[in-house]
A and B are shown apart, each in its own frame.
Chain A
Amino acid sequence: MSDRDRYLIIPGTSGCKLLDNDIDIGWPAELALTSWLSTSVLERVMAVLGVTAESIEERLSMEFADAANWFPTQSTLRPGGSITPGPILTAAYNQFQTHTPFVYDWRADIRGSGKKLLRFLRDGKPSGGRWRIVGHSQGGLLAVVASKLAAQQEGGDNAAFSQLVSRVALLATPLYGTVSAAQALIQGENLGAGFAPHFLRLVRTWPALHQMLPTWRDAVKDGAGAPLGNLLQDTSWPAGAIDPAMLQRARDTRRDFLDDPLVAMRDVTVQLLMSQAHPTLNHVVRSGDRLVVPQIFERGDTLVPEETYRRSCLGVYERQSTHSIGGTGDTAVHYMLANDPVVATVTRRFLEKTS
């Protein structure tokens, strides 16, 4: 180890603010409140104040006109607007405040964000040292993409990433997807039930959510519990329920970057940290022309289903690198997991190890 190693934290989905032309748009607290108010009995009052559900939808929607491009044509549909990532939300990462944050637009294509991460790692590589990274949730997927890109750019050398990075803690990273992403695309109640019709439209412009759809083959079941496939397949979705171009983008991402997630981390010491303390969704049900999210749970962190990952998804090396934490309700839920004393201590200890 070098004393000059640097520590990096990559937050998860919603883990940093969003700025529109450098002005904080109020994610998450203010936007959640205004989204709710704009579809409540105070709708007219909000409209007088210039806030409508339509304006929020317009602002949060993206455009990817070129299906092959990793970067958006427009980061917001608000005329004249430009959304960029803002500061990390320290409330969710208060145990890692000495780490350098890498912030990104967590709505955008994971490949584009991973490419920016790789550039950031190269530009900021400590001389005589390497990076030690904790990637929470989607942040871990960015580290995976960056490792694959590094290998691709070095002629397929799966050890290329290790020139930049010595240790990676993938904290609650949905390496094989999460039903929560599907739930957002099916129900859209993340900013309140009243705002759901708007959220359903805007979230279908976010590639990252599609790229985190569950990949295990019984992620979709029929009413009798028989497996129908995963949620990256066109046939799993009712007509009109999803943008086929986004689904294709998600399949391309998985094939090129997210399958075999640790392959390009040769000579990097990796740990997959998961919680097994909370009820977590593990499938959706196809019922006629509808997808339904049943209230059937297994152990996980509320987003990553730990049991399904171990039973169906993780390969041998991935399992050997997996550390599941918690019993029943004694560990923080997914979005706060980096604040959990045990998880944070285990992560810090892992990153600080010298051998």
Chain B
Amino acid sequence: MSRASAALVVLVLGGAGAAPVHAQTCTFKDPVPAACGDLGCVVSASVSLPQRGDPGTCGPCTQHAQCDAECDLVTQRCRGRAPSPAPELVWPTFHLITVDVAMSVADQDGTQWKPIVGVGYTFEGAFSTTEPRQRSDQTWETAEVPRWYFRAGGALAFGGPGQNLFLELGPSYYWADGLLAISSIAATVLYQRQGQDIWELTDGTENFDRLGPSLALTFLYNLTVGSAVLLPLGDSAANDSTGVLVFLRYDRDVVSDLIPDRFRKYLSPDLQ
């Protein structure tokens, strides 16, 4: 006779007024089959709000919580269920399609007030992977998560002074509990190509290239504010001066999140 059947017999006999015997004991919401076979773990009705860890006795189930997964309410026997697949190792990544608004605040012609508005994409990939482990209570845990990522991004802009291509690469630090809602800090290298015909690779009269360090803060995973000092690459007739760029980069949909439709008409056409 299985332990489950024995427990059932004990309960039935007990209910019929037979000599008192001890039913098989179990712990509520701990693995039931080990203690009760296909019976449930039944907590005394006198216990208010039964919860995990309460003592119980094996018996026909009348509630799903008395079983590991599910009670067949007709047969009053527990039904097993295959556990969900174990979580896998992952390489954390982050993607964002952005609107980029940049302004050159110190250039050969001074500040260019007309912003360079473009469309961009930012990718971040962690420098390490995660490794889930199973705990003694059968839950899974990924306790160590990456803080360091590399950022690779780019933006194309056809407004403002000619055409612009921006490319960015460098490390970023993920700061989930950052001050002032900062979620990451990135120190990258920013490349700018600007001109009338930026696709013409050899033209030094209409286009120029600059490269330099950039520092950027991202707020709430959506809005990045940064600045870069851009140094000229080679000789260019178009522009051979160092420039300072400040930029704002945000998720393409964040404006509609924050600003109701009826106010959006007040935004500049570029931002709309």
Contacts and interface: CB of A to CB of B under 8 A. Distances in A.
Interface in B27-84: 29-32, 48-49, 51-53, 63-65, 68-70, 73, 81, 83-84
Nearest to A261: B64
A339 interface: yes
Most-contacted residue by chain A among B31, B73, B141 (CB, 10 A) = B141
Interface stretch (A53-61, A280-288, A344-352): A344-352
A134 to B, nearest CB: 15
Contacts of A326: 142-143, 145, 176
A317 B83 contact: yes
A345 B140 CA distance: 16
A333 B258 CA distance: 20
A323 B87 contact: yes
A30 B256 CA distance: 12
B142 A342 contact: yes
Contact of A310 (B48, B139, B145): B139
B220 A315 contact: no
A220 to B, nearest CB: 11
Interface stretch (B12-20, B88-96, B102-110, B225-233): B88-96
Contact of A327 (B31, B126, B144, B220): B144
Contacts of B64: 259-260, 263
B177 A87 contact: no
Nearest to A156: B73
Contacts of B222: 91, 94, 339
Interface stretch (B130-138, B155-163, B204-212, B236-244): B130-138
Given A91-B251, A315-B29, A342 B145 contact: yes
A26 B48 contact: no
Which label, helix, strand, loop or mixed, suits the secondary structure of the B interface? Answer: loop
Interface residues of B, number: 64
A315 to B, nearest CB: 5
B95 A95 contact: yes
B76 to A, nearest CB: 14
A336 B137 contact: no
A290 interface: no
B68 A316 contact: yes
B68 A315 contact: yes
A245 to B, nearest CB: 22
Contacts, number: 184
A278 interface: yes
Contacts of B73: 156
Most-contacted residue by chain A among B65, B84, B143 (CB, 10 A) = B84
A341 B126 contact: yes
A175 interface: no
Nearest to B51: A312
A94 B251 contact: yes
A26 B49 contact: no
Interface string A304-322: 0000001111111101111
Contacts of B121: none
Nearest to A338: B221
A171 B259 CA distance: 27
Contacts of A342: 90, 92, 126, 130, 142, 145-146
A269 B126 contact: no
A243 interface: no
B81 A341 contact: no
Given A94-B221, A230-B49, A315-B68, A341 B253 contact: no
A234 interface: no
A320 B145 contact: no
B200 interface: no
Most-contacted residue by chain A among B65, B81, B96 (CB, 10 A) = B81
Contact of B63 (A87, A260, A266): A260
Interface string A284-304: 000000000000000000000
A316 B253 contact: no
B174 interface: yes
A325 B81 contact: no
A340 interface: yes
Nearest to A31: B260
Given A342-B145, A346-B130, 17 more contacts: A30-B259, A30-B263, A91-B251, A91-B257, A216-B49, A230-B49, A259-B64, A266-B81, A270-B84, A316-B31, A317-B81, A321-B83, A322-B140, A329-B176, A336-B183, A339-B183, A344-B94
19 contacts: A23-B262, A30-B259, A216-B51, A262-B69, A263-B64, A311-B53, A315-B29, A316-B29, A317-B68, A319-B137, A324-B141, A327-B143, A330-B174, A336-B183, A336-B221, A339-B183, A341-B124, A345-B93, A350-B87
Interface of B: 29-32, 48-49, 51-53, 63-65, 68-70, 73, 81, 83-85, 87-88, 90-97, 124, 126, 130, 132, 137-147, 149, 174, 176-177, 183, 220-222, 251, 253-254, 256-263
